[in-house]
Homo-oligomer: A and B are copies of this chain.
Amino acid sequence: MTGLAPHLSDESLTAIAVERTGSVTTPKGFRAAGLAVGIKASGNPDLALVVNDGPLQDAAAVFTSNRIFAAPVQWSRDASADGVLKAVVLNSGGANACTGKDGLADSAKTAVQVASGLDCAVGDVAVCSTGLIGVRLPMEALLSGVDQAVGQLSPQGGPNAAQAIMTTDTVRKMASYTSPDGWSIGGIAKGAGMLAPALATMLVVLTTDADVKPLALDTALKQATSVSFDRVDSDGCQSTNDSVILMSSGASGYAPDPREFATALAAVCRDLGLQLLADAEGAAHDIAITVKGAASLDDALEVARSIARNNLFKCAIFGNDPNWGRVLAAAGTTKAAFEVENLDVFFNGVGVYRQGAIGEDRSLVDLSARQVEVVMDLHHGAHQATVWTNDLTYDYVKENAEYSS
């Protein structure tokens, strides 16, 4: 990969008007529920169900690439492999990861209960879990909870579903886009920043009532995640449970141009990704790292990720320190094409390092706001990419030191 299709460029995506009031029930043909069934000791909502009433039941999904993956990931990968899903059931309060064959059986039993309640095939039910690793789920509460959820399904249930998948999240995450042509995309997400995955999971459910061919659905989802969730970078830690599931009902009766659909889906995903970032509990800054002038998209991404994963750089941002030496040192560990004497580094628009030499006075940089923009220009080509991350803070350490998996 050396380039990005124009319909996925930063310009194309920012032109899409994404709203944060809509959710998975914004598109026609979907019902959802979210409620407390006793999985969490706190009594907070812990079970969500999203159902596609059709007429189409096309689906696509992407999962964690971690080789150590949870039982629900194994189940849902199989269930979605044929591109057909009727429903997704999600629980917080337990990840059902590293639980062996018994854990896989628990995911299967959950799907069976949903299929029974909806009168559909068990292989058309995806299962997602988030919470503690290495602990079995309270199946009695979960299964009777599934029946309750089926009873509470509603075309207005999306926000409740968004609420029920929260763990360390302080706010629920929802996003939607409605086309002037009458079709829409909606989504809910769970995750307290990729940077502080204390409960180690990002779960996303997306819905649409556009009439999109299964192959185009799959392509659009892969493209969308590549420019959204994959770019909300952190320490590169991928969890055991990460899942992104997209279902299409076709209920709008409108078949948009595949590229138009892909652009809108990517914009919704990027908005959800930035909501995850903004809710990273331990973080004091949201950092956008843009590498431009790269010989290829891969080069731009490699340099941006290298900076985003550099702990020294992330600590410096926490200290409001425009430490360009650390940006350079991170870039220097990559194989990207550039000449050292041509590099520029900008912090919030101030060129602190220009053409390979000390640039404007670093005291001109104000890093007191939460949003920080770091730009590195390699002056070696026409490609660019942005990666988002958070700073490394006392609270990040505290949250992840005191959390026990």
Residues of chain A whose beta carbon lies under 8 Å from any beta carbon of chain B: 65-69, 97-98, 100, 133-134, 197, 200, 235-240, 309-312, 315-316, 318-319, 321, 323-326, 328-334, 340, 353, 356-358, 392-394, 396-405
Contacts and interface: CB of A to CB of B under 8 A. Distances in A.
Contact of A330 (B134, B237, B310, B399): B237
A150 to B, nearest CB: 32
A356 B100 contact: yes
Given A100-B357, A134-B358, A329 B394 contact: no
Contact of A66 (B240, B333, B353, B399): B333
Contacts of A398: 394
A134 B332 contact: no
Contact of A401 (B318, B400, B404): B318
A328 B397 contact: no
A196 to B, nearest CB: 9
Contacts of A323: 404-405
Contacts of A397: 315, 318, 392-394, 396-397
A217 to B, nearest CB: 28
28 contacts: A65-B333, A66-B332, A67-B334, A68-B328, A68-B329, A68-B340, A100-B357, A133-B325, A134-B358, A235-B310, A235-B311, A236-B333, A237-B311, A237-B333, A240-B328, A240-B329, A311-B392, A311-B400, A315-B400, A316-B401, A316-B403, A321-B401, A323-B404, A323-B405, A324-B405, A325-B405, A394-B394, A396-B397
Given A134-B324, A392-B400, 15 more contacts: A68-B331, A68-B340, A134-B358, A200-B325, A235-B312, A237-B329, A238-B329, A239-B329, A240-B325, A240-B332, A311-B392, A312-B400, A315-B396, A319-B400, A394-B398
Contacts of A331: 67-68
